Amino acid sequence: MPTPDALPSYQVAGIGAGPANLSLAALFPAANLGSGAASIALFDSQPGPAWHPALLSPGVRMQTSWMKDLVSLVDPRHPLTFMNYLVTSGRLFALLNAQFDTIPRLEYVRYLTWAARRIEGIHYDTTIERISYTGDGFLLHAGGRPVARAEHVSIGVGTRATRPAWMEGLPGTAFIADDLGRRIDGLCADLAAPIAVVGGGQTGLECVLKLINAGFTDIRWLGRRQWFQTIDDSPVANEFYRPAHQQFLQQLSRGTRRRLVVEQGPTGDALTPGALRVLYQSNYDRMLDLDRFPAVLYPGRDVVSVAADGGDLVMRCDTPGGREEHRARHIVVAVGREASPVPFDDDLAERVEYDDDGDMLIEPDYSLRWKGMNGHRIFVLNRARYSHGVPDANLTLLPVRAATVINAMAGRPVFNVVDDLCPVRWIA
């Protein structure tokens, strides 16, 4: 086993090689903090470039503009822009002529793969199990042994599907949406069997559409809200997705920021209108064959418990009018995503500071507040929703966030993020 001094050492080690850390790695060389490619390394458990591979389906679209790629918002001349991907891969005119409002999600994944292959220092198939602080930096462990040292760490481990408590002890006929792709061929043996999708968000919508297109004839879509809400994509709603609004939020108390961010939820935590239209049209097309809708929507149903009953699953739901039951042969669970655990060792985890709501305290430059840092920083790239706003957990401002982190590490404005021309004067 190599000694710590013999391990490869980096200015910054990124945990996870998803879009957040890819953006950081793409822009990092401009900081000139280390010796070329060795100054940053990313570690990811996936065998290769991937972004929610289990949720890729034909026809699924992005919810953000293709201009909001890994680099363009802070460096439009960077070689890893989405435009350069289109031009160099010969796809530009075909994509333009297809007249997409938003690009296919699979196109974005191909762009990420293209970019990742042009970024040096990405270590796939490497699960960082433990991060330790040594006093003069961080020690990263994988496979039961130390594998690297770093001055700073960038946490970009992403999210995982939420498993509600009522899933505990249920048979395999209840499963998360991530598993639908590999399960659907087996389910197709009985297309008439009742199947429920629980969760009124974008993933739930995509599951329902996938089931309709596969020929299922008895689909129940249950959502907790009183309607299946579409995203507010108006110009004024998009004002929340810019650096100027992040700067406004940083002037407020934590409680005020949280209140405002919760109110802004419909601008991001909702359904893409185009996708909902496609679902309705697909449902109508199938109705013309069946003389009834194959998919029925049940808003206002909050599933609180599920019990097996013979070959069925009985869902008990709270509704505005009281308790209601629904039966299904299978349940696809799409109730949201939660932050994946950060692999701090016990000592480092105890140093982390939290607010009264149990969230990590994250500074304006995305560095984590923790005791004894001694100049060594931990940057957290997707856990600052209630301090930095609704864009934090999505793809909208990836390069702006990466530029903020790089400026903080460099101690100087490597990237000058300017957002002065704003027509809105917010107030808390």
Q: Which CATH architecture has domain 165-230+270-337?
A: 3-Layer(bba) Sandwich (3.50)
| Mean pLDDT in residue range 87-95 | 95
Helices (H) and strands (E) in the chain, counts: 12, 17
pLDDT in tens, 159-183: 889 999 999 999 999 999 999 999 9
Q: What angle do CA 89, 272, 301 make, to 5 degrees?
A: 140
Question: CA-to-CA distance for 247 and 240, rounded, in angstroms?
Answer: 11
Output the pLDDT for position 57.
66
**Farthest-apart Cα atoms in the chain, separation:** 72
Predicted model pTM: 0.92
| Mean pLDDT in residue range 7-35 | 91
pLDDT in tens, 318-357: 999 999 999 999 999 999 989 899 999 999 999 999 988 8
CATH 3.50.50.60 domain locations along the chain: 4-158+340-410, 165-230+270-337
Question: CA-to-CA distance for 106 and 114, rounded, in angstroms?
Answer: 12
Please check whether the domain covering 4-158+340-410 is classified as CATH 3.50.50.60. yes
Q: Residue 370: how many CA atoms within 13 Å on its side-chain side?
A: 22
Among the listed residues 399, 391, 394, the one whose alpha carbon sits nearest the alpha carbon of residue 417: 399
pLDDT in tens, 277-297: 999 999 999 999 999 999 999
Output the pLDDT for position 5.
66
Whether 105 and 54 have beta carbons less than 8 Å apart is answered as no
| Mean pLDDT in residue range 255-266 | 93
